[in-house]
Amino acid sequence: MDSDKKKKINRRTFLKGAASAAITGGVAVTAGCKGKGLLGSSEAFALEFQEYFKKHYRLMTKTERKETVSRLEKLARLRQDITVNIDTTGPSENVLFGYAFNVTRCEGYMECVQACVEENNLDRKSNTQYIRVFEMEHGQMSPDKGDGKYFHMVPKEGHFYMGVQCFHCENPPCVKACPTKATWKEKDGIVVVDYDWCIGCRYCMAACPYWGRRFNWNQPEVPKEEITKEQHYLGNRKRVKGMMEKCTFCIQRSRKGELTACVEACPTGARVFGNLLDPDSEIRFVLENKKVYRLKEDLGTDPKFWYFID
């Protein structure tokens, strides 16, 4: 009921904003519309109006990127009354991110799942999760045979655990499928989505052999006090209904040299993340010294996500 009422009010203010923006005309809108003398909502509307016409992220100049970021930050203040910081840091030279998962160590606590949900502002209403952890019986090696919905004390006798998420393929089928180039692989190997450019056709979802992508079927909801405010344009910033999203190796953290939220949260140290091009990195140590394997190698997708056994 309450949220219904809120929705209605939002709609009304939106329409009011639309009307007044139409009256003040395109001049104010294109001039950036500081909106001091207007209604607060009409300023937000003007910003949303400009956002609607913005270009694909990769085609924006530096100034255009700055402008859209400042619009988005302003909108967060106006619409949600929060101050967010949206980063646009690009990939660094000589960095290619990779991930390894220690099947022996994982005990299925799912701390990684929770940390990911909180870090990446995932929709609490539909319970969206980028990471799935499967409980597997011994003798299996593919998560599609495991149980992804277990709900009991872990670890369970005679079982082991496997986490899956977007594998950031070097040859990603999703990128090939997207009709608007709204998803692509960055130079540092992270497969990202330009949320605002996505039209929500879900062809990428059909193309992904690892079930790595999530769609916003409803308007996503995150309690205001739980929103992570350090954001990245291609990462954990606000999404709306109809957009595709996915794991970005916590681009807002990894691009600053930090570990992803899932790695940091893992209580057993089963998760390894790092730069594949750095010979001294932990991930390189794992690849060189452990027996590693990847899922569905026969598809030729070349995922940058390895499983290994101690």
Partner 1 sequence: MKKDTTSKGLFSFIKDAILWNLSGSIGYQVYLCLLVCLMLIGVYGYFIQFRLGLSATNMSNIVSWGFYISNFTFLVGVAAAAVMLILPAYVFNDKDLHKVVIIGEVVAVGALVMCMSFVFVDLGRPLQFWHLVPGIGQLNFPSSLLSWDILVLNGYLALNALIPAYIVYCHYKGKEPVGRYYKPFVFISIGWAVAIHMVTAFLYQGLPARPFWNNSLMGPRFLASAFAAGPAIICLVLHVVNSATDYKIDNKIFNKLRIIIVSAAVINLLMLFSEVFKEFYFPTQHSQSAIYLFFGLEGHNSLVPWIWTAISINLLGTVILAFNPFGERQVFLMPALVLLIVGIWIEKGIGLIVPGLVPSPMGEIINYSPSNVELFITVGVLGLGMFVVTMLLKPALIIEKQYEDSHGEHH
What is the nearest approach in angstroms of partner 1 to the Cβ of residue 92?
26
What is the nearest approach in angstroms of partner 1 to the Cβ of residue 138?
17
What is the nearest approach in angstroms of partner 1 to the Cβ of residue 132?
7
Task: Give whichever of 121 and 216 is closer to partner 1, judged by the CB atom.
Answer: 216
Task: Give whichever of 205 and 276 is closer to partner 1, judged by the CB atom.
Answer: 205
Task: Give whichever of 207 and 277 is closer to partner 1, judged by the CB atom.
Answer: 207
Judged by the rule CB under 8 A, the positions of this chain that interact with partner 1 are: 52, 56, 59, 126, 132, 134, 142-146, 148, 164, 173, 176-182, 196-203, 205-211, 214-219, 241-244, 299-300
What is the nearest approach in angstroms of partner 1 to the Cβ of residue 8?
11
| Residues in CB range of 255: below 8 A, 6 or more apart | 87, 89, 90, 91, 92, 188, 232
Task: Give whichever of 105 and 132 is closer to partner 1, judged by the CB atom.
Answer: 132
Q: Which of 157, 144, 164 has its CA nearest to residue 103?
A: 164
Task: Give whichever of 244 and 266 is closer to partner 1, judged by the CB atom.
Answer: 244
Strand ranges of the sheet holding 305-309, from the earlier edge strand across to the other edge: 271-275, 97-102, 305-309, 291-293
Q: Tell me which residue has tokens 């009011």.
A: 16
Task: Give whichever of 75 and 207 is closer to partner 1, judged by the CB atom.
Answer: 207
Most distant CA atoms of the chain, gap in Å: 69
What is the nearest approach in angstroms of partner 1 to the Cβ of residue 166?
12
H-type alpha helices, the chain: 2-30, 40-52, 62-75, 111-119, 173-177, 203-207, 251-254, 261-265, 282-289
What is the nearest approach in angstroms of partner 1 to the Cβ of residue 130?
11
Query: Using CA atoms, how far apart are residues 181 and 54, in angstroms rounded to an integer?
Result: 15
| C-alpha triplet 68, 69, 70: angle, nearest 5° | 90
The two tokens of residue 210 are 């690892």
Query: Using CA atoms, how far apart are residues 220 and 214, in angstroms rounded to an integer?
Result: 12
